[in-house]
Amino acid sequence: MTRWERFLDTFFNVEVMARYLPKIAEGFVVTVELALLVVVSGLALGLLLAVVRTLRVRVLNALIVLYVDLFRALPPLVVIVLVYFGGPAAGWSPSGFVATWLSLAVVLSAFAEEIFWAGILAVPRGQWEAARSTGLGALQTLGWVVLPQAVRMTVPPLTNRTIAITKGTALGSVVAVSEILSSAQTAVSFSFNPSPLTLGAAAYLVLFIPVVMLGRWVETRFAWKR
């Protein structure tokens, strides 16, 4: 066996790949489900926190800042492991899937809150004043005038952060979620061949390259003439 043949056999063994493709495909579905849940709930919670912060209630804002700083500082894996292994001690035993979903959603919400908040602050004060002077209430002004502008400004950092944290679904492999990475690792230990990992990497590309492209499309779509 030449070196080249050994390389191909190690990473691109077609027979092994074909055998474990269905397993990886199942993992792919789990990753997609997890990713969608994390993105939707994380961004929604982040937006909600940013909106609450505009009410400028001192106690609430202090709590939000504490929450945001805490979950931006903690590595996502630490949060997942804490929830999954620490939860049962507190009388709550989430599945690996639920633990990963909640942990990543909370981490994403912390980053998203900061990004949305920066966007809200970047909207000129005159926009608030113009809207309020026509009789719109604070929440109406936020919803119709300020947030549409804030969200547009924050699309680039938001897509970056969302993609980075959604890729963290791979961390679910640590707490027995049979997503892409975990399925690939299982396949490797059964076949004694790393080719399923190549397949797993390809699955991530298939999933995230369209997401990256969608992010770029959203950025151009939401830009408006100044």
Q: Widest CA span of the chain, in angstroms?
A: 80
Give 51 or 147: the residue with its C-beta nearer to other proteins: 147
Give 69 or 129: the residue with its C-beta nearer to other proteins: 129
The answer to whether 167 touches 136, Cβ cutoff 8 Å, is no
225 binds other proteins, rule: CB under 8 A: yes
192 binds other proteins, rule: CB under 8 A: no
The CA distance from 30 to 35, in Å, is 8
The CA distance from 90 to 140, in Å, is 41
Backbone Cα Rg of the chain: 22
> Which residues, 74 to 133, sit near other proteins by CB under 8 A?
124, 126-127, 129-133
Give 38 or 123: the residue with its C-beta nearer to other proteins: 123
Residue type for position 121: L
218 binds other proteins, rule: CB under 8 A: no
Give 58 or 125: the residue with its C-beta nearer to other proteins: 125
Residue type for position 57: V
The CA distance from 40 to 166, in Å, is 11
Q: Site for other proteins (CB under 8 A): how many residues?
A: 21
220 binds other proteins, rule: CB under 8 A: no
4 binds other proteins, rule: CB under 8 A: no
Give 9 or 219: the residue with its C-beta nearer to other proteins: 219
41 binds other proteins, rule: CB under 8 A: no
**In the complex, what is the shortest distance from the CB of residue 155 to other proteins, in angstroms, rounded to a whole number?**
13
- Which of 60, 134, 176, 209 is close enough to bind other proteins by CB under 8 A? 134
The answer to whether 193 touches 16, Cβ cutoff 8 Å, is yes
219 binds other proteins, rule: CB under 8 A: no
The CA distance from 219 to 112, in Å, is 16
56 binds other proteins, rule: CB under 8 A: no
210 burial level (CB within 10 Å; 0-12, 13-18, 19+): exposed
Give 124 or 210: the residue with its C-beta nearer to other proteins: 124
224 binds other proteins, rule: CB under 8 A: yes
- CA-wise closest residue to 42 among 94, 108, 120, 140: 108
Give the residues lining the site for other proteins (CB under 8 A).
Answer: 124, 126-127, 129-137, 140, 144-145, 148-149, 152, 224-226
